[in-house]
Amino acid sequence: MDRRLEGARVLLGVCGGIAAYKMASLTSALVQHGATVDVIMTPEAERFVGPLTFSSLTARPVYTSLWDAPERIPHIRLVREAQAILVAPATANTIAKLAHGIADDLLTTALLAARVPVAIAPAMNTAMYEHPATIENLTTLRARGYEVVEPERGFLAERESGVGRLASEERLFEALALGVARRTSLAGLRVAITAGPTREAFDPIRFVSNASTGATGIALAREAALRGADVTLLLGPTQLEPPFGVRTLRFTTAEQLHALALDHAVGSDITIATAAVADWRPAERAESKRKKSDDDLLVRMVRNPDVLAELGARKGATFLVGFAAETDDHEANAREKLARKHLDAIVVNDVRDERGFGPGENTLALLWSGGRRDLGTAEKSLLAARLLDELIALRENR
């Protein structure tokens, strides 16, 4: 018997597609494997299968409206009690609502409040699934960290064959099991993450900085929190918002980051240093704006503290991960940094022509003593999940 869901709390969202009837079998399987299952049905789903079916299988109430037990605020309570959520069958309508933040029923309202892994399993006619709007909406949801359980090719309700048939019960079960494992894989651990650029001023309005936005560190902080970690995010100047519910401490200069890191990263279980820290700062900072003149401006620069090297010297039992943004000899430079700064692992990427900066895609490789794993090219939320999967395995085998 598969025991991965034994004792787990899962939430099943059932939408109004013909495949809704298949959710009864999945619910029964989940219960038989020891899971506690709550079910939310959309009004359209009730046209295909009755709530009594699911309440009989789960021995729990089935929720169909925001006004079911409103004193208990079901859209908040249900997602906070769940360890993972599966929406199946996910209709084109529900997918579109989620992509655009529309919350007009219990299911979409609950999902908007969810801070746990969510998998969605589309099921619809091939023409609807392949429509550019649906493709774009699914891309948006993947970028936000949703797991999409792709539909299969087969016989459809319209008496034709094509892509759009709901994924098999085995794949849906696996999606929930992986979601639960993801939700608890860092439970009880302290994780510190540094992110964003530093700014080193030489007058009140001018500074030396770089193109980092902190997007990778923010994605890692969000993913680590989803996995149950107690996360502290040390975040430099950026226009991106930190993840909801994550303890976030701000810095501007390398010296400020140095002080915060010694207070909050030393002694953590895992520290991931993604911040792009300036190696030098102006030796002097003018109190007033430097006025333009016909003369050249010469600014003397002095070394900043090496935050990562100092964390390496003090790491103790901390699993310490660095980042190397390189333009040439990527792996050789990253491996030299790995050894010199006493890191357990290092992530390297090519930043020529400012590639990899910003909230879009990046291409990463993970290196450790005697090993390498390419993480591929993907949205940063997906890369964060892949990276944490690898780091957890490395830490366990250390």
Q: Are the C-beta atoms of residues 15 and 89 closer than 8 Å to each other? A: yes
| Lookup result for tokens 């037990």 | 69
CA distance 358 to 210: 12
Counting every residue written for the chain, the total comes to 398
Catalytic residue among 93, 125, 137, 210: 210
Q: What is the arrangement of strands in the sheet containing 319-326, beginning at the earlier edge strand?
A: 247-250, 230-235, 190-195, 270-273, 319-326, 345-350, 361-368, 371-379
Q: Are the C-beta atoms of residues 210 and 250 closer than 8 Å to each other? A: no
- SS3 call for 339: helix
Q: Are the C-beta atoms of residues 196 and 212 closer than 8 Å to each other? A: yes
For residue 244, which of 358, 106, 144 has the smallest C-alpha distance? 144
Q: What is the DSSP string of 271-287?
A: EEE--B--SEEES---S
CA distance 213 to 220: 13
CA distance 347 to 60: 46
| Catalytic annotation present for 137 | no
Q: Are the C-beta atoms of residues 165 and 155 closer than 8 Å to each other? A: yes
Q: Are the C-beta atoms of residues 366 and 347 closer than 8 Å to each other? A: yes
Distances (CA, A) of 117 to 48, 99, 120, 147, 279: 27, 16, 10, 8, 38
Cα angle: 247, vertex 213, 291; to 5 degrees: 115
Active site residues: 210
